[in-house]
A = this chain, B = another copy of it.
Amino acid sequence: MFIAMNRFRVRKGAEADFAAIWQNRDSHLKDVPGFVEFHLLQGPSEDDHTLFASHTIWANRAAFVDWTRSQAFRDAHKNAGGHSDLYLEAPRFEGFDVVQTIAGK
């Protein structure tokens, strides 16, 4: 299991516009091999921004890397640069490998 996150520092007041862009996009994810689940997350607010994170669970890191090289990835991101006025800086990517799991009952 591999979790791919992109962190966005969204300008105060632009939170609803930012979320709407994600909710209205065609993610092209459902049919991608190794895709497990996507979440858009809203985190804490600071004086000048609210933290958001895209949070995608993949079966493994290789499935994620394959997707970044696919046409589905290019299709999903073709409009990604058009909304950079909504956040303070370019999104920051972090990829995480699962070291330990504790499942609930």
Residue numbers of A with Cβ under 8 A of B are 1, 3, 19, 22-23, 27, 29-31, 35-44, 51-53, 55, 94-105
Copies of this chain assembled into the complex:
2
CB–CB A43/B103 < 8 A: no
User: Complex Cα distance A27/B1, Å?
Assistant: 21
Question: With A30-B104, A31-B105, A104-B30 known to touch, is A99 a contact of B37 (CB < 8 Å)?
Answer: no
Contact of A55 among B3, B40, B42, B51 (CB under 8 A): B3
Which residue of the partner chain B has the closest CB to A15? B99
Q: Is the contact region of chain A dominated by helix, strand, or loop, or is it mixed?
A: strand
Taking CB atoms, residues of chain B closer than 8 Å to A40 are 98-100
CB–CB A101/B43 < 8 A: no
CB–CB A37/B98 < 8 A: no
CB–CB A37/B3 < 8 A: no
Taking CB atoms, residues of chain B closer than 8 Å to A37 are 101-104
8 extra interchain contacts, Cβ-Cβ under 8 A, other than A29-B102, A44-B94?
A: A23-B100, A27-B102, A37-B104, A40-B98, A41-B96, A41-B97, A43-B96, A44-B95
